[in-house]
Amino acid sequence: MKKTDFLMTKIIATLGPASNSVEIITQLIQAGARVFRINFSHGKFSEYDQLIENIRESERATNEFVAILGDISGPKIRVGKIMEGGIFLKQGSEIIFSKKEVPNGEFFEKPLFSTTYPAFIDEVNPGERILLDDGNIELTCLRREGAGEEATLVCRVVEGNRLTSSKGINLPDTLLSLPSLTDKDFRCVEYAVKKSLDFLALSFVRSRKDILVLKDKLTELGARPHGLGITGHDFGFSTGYEDTPYIPIISKIEKPQAIQNLEEIIEESDGVMVARGDLGVEMDLAEVAILQKQIVHQCRKEGKPVIVATQMLQSMILQPTPTRAEVSDVANAILDGVDAIMLSGETAIGKFPVAAVKMMARIGVKTHGFIQKFGHVMPHFVKKEGVLSRKSAMSHGVADMGRDIDARYIITWIHSGGSTMMISQQRMEVPIIAFGERVSRLRQMALLYGVIPRYLIQPISGSRFIADLNIFLLQENLIEIGDPIVIVASDPITKRGLTNRIVIHYVGESME
């Protein structure tokens, strides 16, 4: 462990053809990535098998705990197959969507296309917008013709461009009856449970009902404890389920309906991702930055982990350095206090995947240096009731103690990890070194702001734990004799579910 390892805001790297080898994944970890995203929209289960195996091999090689985030595709609607080279849709022209399969996109009087969701022809109403290819083509629905399987949708091209096979369809004005999880998605969930992935991201969330569908499936598969409902501040780790396999759900905010139902979605989710790609297609592009601020603020207020994603260093897909605007984008997300920032195409298909992570880490180090000096990120403390009240008050007290004594580190011993997560939500500019012996929890800790997970066999006593800490910190050259640290654990340290001991310790002092 080196001092440079302490990146407070975590980096998520999406894996793909440019980064699927053990060699590159190892370099990504060394550069600062702590979570790897597997996008279930691309690839086969056999390819995911190899990817997971490579991640775990790189994890062992670097002696770092890293998490794997499985990103469920959701009900993405796409255009059917179109002739090679595509068809140019001219502004002002009319096109037709058919329920029947159209082999190559056909020209009669008007271009004719099929889709992967024929029922959308019954659900889109005249006057509603249809966006193709991430908004590069805009249509307006004019009318529906025919009925049943013969029904078609006639649209006018508002903004024209070339359309090729399998491009995405966005319907920002339409309330679809499409289920939140497709048959393929359910197979991906079953795979994620089988492979013990650390997190699942749910795409195209519209309301809390979509999240409940996934929760029910995970409970059925034994990957979410029976009785665990809404979580807050602690991922549900504090509720006596530390021995139960548990995959937290990260809800992706990318639909207008999600903005309308934002509070209930954040409440129902274990964490949230600001997915700016589809959000920027379905909402006014000029609103995206404001919506990002709104979502992050609400997550911080509720103590829910939050991730900002999409096009953060987009130019590094092709170029070795980012634009100045991209650097500012990354820094501003960090200044807002997010838990993690995510790279997508930059590491999945880009020419410079390792350089992109290194750049993001450099921006993080510089930005956190500013925060340490000026205290830009303000913590949000939300008083909790019931089972979380003790941990909530404790985390607030630890933050105050750490600042009062200018602690070098906050040290925690984790059974379930709930207290560590709640301390993380205080957004101290002090690294939290979380020791524990449950590997699955340590990996999940890798997503959280400021937390550095480390494996340690259960100490026999609190004083033994502190003695071991002194040795560890001094041997790793992380600290000097006399430096202050705050230690958080249970008393006795072997007791589960009760964090009730806070020790202000000066390294080297006797515990007798």
At 77, which helix (H) or strand (E)?
Answer: strand 77-78
Active site annotation includes 37? yes
Query: Is-contact 11 309, C-beta < 8 A?
Result: no
Q: How many CB atoms lie within 10 A of CB 50?
A: 14
CA distance 52 to 250: 19
Q: ∠ CA(361), CA(364), CA(368), 5° rounding?
A: 150
Query: Is-contact 417 497, C-beta < 8 A?
Result: no
DSSP 478: -
Burial of 137 (0-12, 13-18, 19+ CB in 10 A): buried
Active site annotation includes 367? no
CA distance 300 to 302: 5
Query: Is-contact 213 202, C-beta < 8 A?
Result: no
- Helices (H) and strands (E) in the chain — how many of each? 16, 23
Among the listed residues 9, 10, 14, 37, the single catalytic one is: 37
DSSP string computed for 405-455: TT-SEEEEE-SS-HHHHHHHTT--SS-EEEEES-HHHHHHHTTSTTEEEEE
Contacts of 419 (CB under 8 A, 6+ apart): 234, 238, 391, 394, 395, 412, 488, 499
**β-pair partners for 98:** 152
What's phi and psi for 178, nearest 5 deg? -55, 130
CA distance 115 to 108: 18
CA distance 159 to 139: 7
CA distance 75 to 260: 19
CA distance 149 to 98: 9
Q: ∠ CA(393), CA(397), CA(403), 5° rounding?
A: 150
Active site annotation includes 78? yes
At 295, which helix (H) or strand (E)?
Answer: helix 288-302
Among the listed residues 9, 115, 310, 412, the single catalytic one is: 310
Among the listed residues 217, 224, 252, 358, the single catalytic one is: 252
CA distance 116 to 81: 10
**Both tokens of residue 39?**
């996008």
Among the listed residues 56, 62, 76, 78, the single catalytic one is: 78
CA distance 382 to 242: 24
Distances in Å between the alpha carbon of 70 and those of 14, 35, 42, 261?
Answer: 10, 10, 12, 24
Positions annotated as catalytic residues are 37, 78, 252, 310
